[in-house]
Structure 1
Amino acid sequence: MITCFSTKRLDGYKFPVYSTSSCPGNESEWNKRSAALKCNRTNGYTCLPNEKFTEILEFCYTTPWIWIQEESRSEKAVFDQWEEDDSYFVSTKACEEVENRIKSKNLVVVAGHSGSGKSAIIQHIALKYKKQGWTVERVTRILFEEGVQMERLLLPKATTTPYASPAAKIVAFYAYMSATIPSITGYGYHPSTGVFIAPETGVYVITWAMREASNCRHSTQLVVNKGEIGIIHLHSVSGGDFVGTGVVVTHVNAGDDVHVRTHASWNECYILSDIAGRSSFAGWTLS
C-alpha cells in the first residue's frame, strides 16, 4: 500500500510550514515525511493541528522529537491507580472551567491551595484524553517559546472536594486493613496512601481500631499534619486476641492530612486484620 500525503506551503511563518491532509500513521511514514522536508536531529519533524484546530500543519522544529515508547509497567501502575481514584471523582465547576480552557489554550497551569483538588482534576482530565487516544506524558519542565499561549487558573480554597457528597455537606469514610482489597467508602479518603484529606473545615470524630494477638504489642498514633493528637497502646498476652479502639473529637481544616501510624517505639510483632476481626480507620463530621 502506498500512502500519499498532499502538502501546501503556507505564508506568514518565519520558517517553512506546510498544510497536510493527515499526519503520519507510523514510524516509516514519519521518517519519509521528515526526509521530504529535510528535517534532521537539530530540527525535528513535527505534525500537529493549528491553534484553532482547523488545519493540520507539518514543519521542521528547533527541538528534535523522539518516538514515545510503549508505556512501562510503572507507568501502567500509575494510570491504574488514577483509574481507581477517579472512580470516586465528582466533577466540580473548577474542573469544568479547566476542561473548557484546555480546548482553546496551548497550556493551562492549575494552581490552588492544599486540598483544593488540583491533582484529582488534572488526573481526571488526563484520563479522558487518554481514552480518546491521546498520549499522556509527565512534564518535568516547560520552555516558553514565542507565541505559546499560557493560562494560569487559580482554584479557590477548598470548601468542597472532588470526592464530596453531592447531597448535604456531611463527610464520612471507613477503611480496614486487608492483604487483598480494603473495604473503603466515603469521601476524602485516599486508598493509595491511607490518608484522609479533609474536604470540609469542621469538627470531626476520628476512630481507629487495632487488633493484636500472641503477645504482640503496638502503639498507634492519630496524626493531623504530622502532629499527634491521639495514641493508644495494646499488648496481647500469649494465646490472647484483643482489639483496642481510639476515638478523638477534633477540629480539622479543609486540606488537612489525617492518618494513623505506628509509634517509633513500643512495637513488636504484627497487627492483625482478617475475617475474625478488622483493624480499621474511620471518621465523620458532626452535623
Structure 2
Amino acid sequence: MVIFLLFSFILLPCLYSATHAIIDVKELTSLRETVRLQNQRIYYLEKMMEMLIQREKHDKSVLIDDNRNRVIHKNISESREQGTAGFQDTERTQRLQRDTKSYMRNTSPASVSFFAYMTYIEDDVSTHHTLIFDHAPLNVGGGYHQNSGIFIAPTTGVYVFMWSVRINKQSIVLIVNGSSYTSLYNRSVVLEHSDGADETVTGFAVAHVNQGDDVFLRTHSSYHGDGGIFSNEFGRSSFCGWLLR
C-alpha cells in the first residue's frame, strides 16, 4: 500500500508533465508548419508580383514622372491585394494599359514651339538693341510676336531656346523676363585691306519660364560692337524655341 501511494505521488505528476510536453511539441510542430506554409505563400506572391512588374515594364506602361508613376503603383497595389487573380486577369491588365495611356495623353504638356528668321540686314546696330526676327514660318501656340521679336510664354514650363546670328563683332544677350539669362560673343578676324567677314555663331539655353514671361534677344547694353546683323538667302539669322515639358 505504501509503495502504491509513493507511485501515485511521484510517478503520476511526472506522467502528467510528460503528457503536456508531448502536447506542446505537437503544437510547436504545427505552428512551425503553419509558418513554413505562410512563408511559402509570401514567396510565391512576391515572385508573381515581380513577374507582373516586369510585364508592365515590357509593355512600356511604366511612366517617367512621379505623377504618372502613381497611376501604375495604384494598380499594382490592387493586384497585390488580390493575389494571383490580378496576374491572371487579362482584362485587368488591358484596363491598366488603357488607363495609363489615357493619363499620359491628358497630362502631356501643351505643344508650344516657334521658329523665326530675319529677312533683312541691320547695319551698325547700337547697344541695347532688340533683334527682330520678322518672319515666323512656325509659331505653334502663338507665343512668338514677329513684329517685336518677343516670345511671350503661353504656358509655364521648361523651354529650350536656340539662335544663330551672322555678326562681325558683337555680344548678343538672351533676355528672360527682363533679366539677362546668357550671352554669346564673336569677333571675326579682320584681314589687311578687308572689311572683315561676318560669321555665324549659335547659342542655346534651357530655362524655366512662367506663363506671361517674355523672352527675346538683344545686343549687349554696355558693349558697343562693330558691324551689323546679316541675314539673306545664303545664310539666315534665326531664333527658335520650344516647350520641353
TM-score range, shorter chain: 0.3 to 0.5
Larger Rg over CA atoms: 2
Structure number with higher strand proportion: 1
Return the structure number with greater relative CO, CA threshold 8 A, min gap 6: 2
Structure number with higher helix proportion: 2
